[in-house]
Structure 1
Amino acid sequence: MRFDYSLRLLTDKSWQQPQFHFHDNYEILFSLTTAGSVFIDNELLPLENGTLCLIQAGCLHRTKSEVDEFKRYVLQFPETILRNLSDGTDPVASLLNRAYLCTLLSPQDYIQLNYLFDRLFTLSGAENGNTFQRNIALLEILYYIGNLLGEPFEEGQPVTSPDYKRIRPVLDYIQEHLDEPLPLDTLASEFYLNKHYFCHLFKKVTGFSATEYIIRNRLAQARSLLRSGVSVQEAGEQSGFGSNAHFIKTFTNVVGISPGRYAREYRSSHKI
């Protein structure tokens, strides 16, 4: 049996992800350069050489680089790997409990983890690579990170700019009221801001518009509801979409398949 995973070693210049997004798989981001920032679950965190982020399936995030070269490993794998391997008390169990975990590695951990990623990357690229070796190499990474994050560790500290402090309460408000109408006029007045200034500030801080942020969060919530067995109509209503037709159209345009098909495929295979 070969574990289902994807490992990429990426290098980009002045990188910014085109949209705020989520995955159905877990993602590990291992930054090999000091770059810019990553926006995860309403937190804006710096990306430094040695930053390690574990992002849970369904957690909205977006990365942005402000340097000439942004080099990183990106490892994606289904949640079922963790759940099938963990008995709830081992180091791997610590990877299942939060929306994200982010830390700056010590020099020793950086060297060791970089070696493990390099090894898995080499094995993954071999045409006739040994499946057993690949599986073990993946498990070594997960076990190492589980040990690292299962013990007390220094979490990455959010960026603390005055603009971010003004927008952070807005992000929390949106999360708490996703099932309600959220017109921009109402949001701006709720926080005593001019609508034009509010929209400008929101995009400056987060990198995306308030409307995009609301839609992506509603889709992430709907996806979670669909996976839990809620009907398509109820998932749309509970996520704040004004009509079932609007929900189906938006979900299909962004995710690539209809919400009904998404739910069916998840039930049949436990992953998309």
Structure 2
Amino acid sequence: MSLANTRIVNHYTYNDDEFVLSYSHKNGPYNITGHVHDQYEVYYLLKGRRSYFIKDRLYTVQQGDLVFIPKAVLHRTLFAGSLQHQRIVLNFTDTFLERSRATGSKLDLLKPFHSPYPTLRLKEDDRRYAEALLLRAVAEMKEQMDGFEVCVQALAIELLVHLARCIDKYVGDAAPAVSPLQRRIAEITGYIQTHYAEPLTLSHLSETFYISPYYLSRVFKEVSGFSFVEYVNHVRMKEAQRLLRETDWKVQRIAEAVGFESIAYFGRVFKEEVQLSPLQYRSMKRGGTF
């Protein structure tokens, strides 16, 4: 979701079913709605400053920082005071990785995604190398000469190799600073992820965590970028999608299992979140038509 007066200065994208590389330069305040997907994501902030909410907490991302998002993890970026920002995002599937991996290679290209901390600030030489690869890929997308698709994907693989090779050097440097308030909100989001099937209200959580409902509502939005209801619904919809993929339960049973008393309200929230009805989603994930 963009905010008023945001202007896209430049945008280049290459994508297929297994791989997406996207460059964007925006001028003005800008927020992305929270989402999950079945692809890994590498986010590089070329210029500016952003807030990045990942799973249960908010991180400050500065120029030159990398962010690694595993599959199926809720995330979004938010305005953090910098009116202009440029970022490059790489998304890829397991299939792309298997197709690109050389036979016999023992290097785990997903090593950066195994870190307990999703953000990383490279040292100067490593950062310059990674940035040069990404900028070459952007130039290929912009010029679109014959074979640019092969070059873009090859540069992305070289980037993943570079990051996997150097990640061990940063094990002790990766932990971001976390404020007491951020830790508190992380406790609350963790509670929501565990108790999503139960009735969840601000008053209930305020009693559980000894915080006034008004204060909880305000700081939850401030720290996470989500309203309380938005976050609860995101968690419930993620579980509903899993149940639709992996079980033959009726929609009514799934709605109740993820905490909805009204199947009509469940269907409305699901459609807003996924842009498909629950049955359409199940059919699509199982290779059917709708």
Regarding TM over 0.5, the answer is yes
SS at match of 2:230: helix
| Contact 1:31-1:72 at 8 Å conserved across structures | yes
1:180 to 193, 198, 223: 198
The alignment's TM-score, normalised by the length of structure 2, stands at 0.80
Looking at secondary structure, tell me which structure has more strand per residue.
2
Range that drifts further, 135-144 or 54-63? 135-144
Structure 1 segment 163-242 matched on structure 2, within 5 A: 163-229=181-247, 231=249, 233=251, 234-242=253-261
* Percent identity between the two aligned chains: 27
Determine the structure 1 residue equivalent to 2:7.
Answer: none
1:94 corresponds to which residue?
Answer: 111
Cα distance change, pair 80–155 in 1 and its aligned pair in 2 (3 A): farther
For CA contacts below 8 A with separation 6 or more, give which structure has more relative contact order.
Answer: 1
Cα deviation code 1:178-223 (max 9, x no counterpart)? 1211112101111112211221121122222111111112112222
Moved more, 83-92 or 5-14: 83-92
Higher alpha-carbon deviation: 173-182 or 236-245? 236-245
Structure 2 unaligned spans of 5+: 1-15
Give the letter for the 2:230 counterpart.
E
Would you say the 8 A contact 1:20–1:61 is kept in 2? yes
Which of 128, 131, 142 matches 1:114? 131
Name the SS of the counterpart of 1:54 in structure 2.
Answer: strand
Range with bigger deviation, 173-182 or 258-267: 258-267
- Please give the alpha-carbon distance, in whole angstroms, between the structure 1 residues aligned to 2:97 and 2:256: 32
Does residue 1:255 correspond to 2:274, yes or no?
Answer: yes
Alignment of 1:61 onto 2:61: no
Q: Which moved more, 1:88-97 or 1:171-180?
A: 88-97
Establish whether residue 126 from structure 1 lines up as the match of residue 140 from structure 2.
no
Q: Does the 8 A contact of 1:104 with 1:154 survive in 2?
A: no
CA distance in 2, matches of 1:129, 1:219: 42
Q: For the residues of structure 2 that align with 1:6 and 1:16, how far apart are their CA atoms? A: 21
Q: Is the 8 A contact 1:14 1:66 kept in 2?
A: no
- Residue 8 of structure 1 contacts residue 75 of structure 1 at CA under 8 Å; is this kept in 2? yes
- CA separation in 2, counterparts of 1:223 and 1:133? 35
Higher deviation after alignment, 210-219 or 18-27: 18-27
Partner of 2:287: 268
Q: Secondary structure at the match of 1:242?
A: coil
Change (3 A) 1:68 1:115: same
In 1, Cα distance between the equivalents of 2:259 and 2:173?
33
Please say if residues 41 and 68 of structure 2, whose CA atoms lie closer than 8 Å, have aligned partners that are also in contact.
yes
Residue 3 of structure 1: CA displacement?
6.8
Q: Distance in 1 between matches of 2:189 and 2:250?
A: 26
Cα offsets for 1:8-45 (capped at 9, x unmatched): 22223453425322233222110123513211111221
Between 1:160-169 and 1:245-254, the stretch displaced more is: 160-169
Q: Distance in 2 between matches of 1:261 and 1:3?
A: 20
Structure 2 CA distance for aligned equivalents of residues 85 and 226 of structure 1: 31
Map 1:14-163 → 2, pairs under 5 A:
14-64=28-78, 65-85=80-100, 89-94=106-111, 97=114, 101-130=118-147, 131-149=149-167, 153-154=171-172, 156-163=174-181
Distance in structure 2 (CA, Å) of the matches to 1:257 and 1:211: 20
Quote the RMSD (CA, aligned, Å): 2.9
Q: In structure 2, the residue corresponding to 1:174 is in which secondary structure?
A: helix
Name the SS of the counterpart of 2:232 in structure 1.
helix
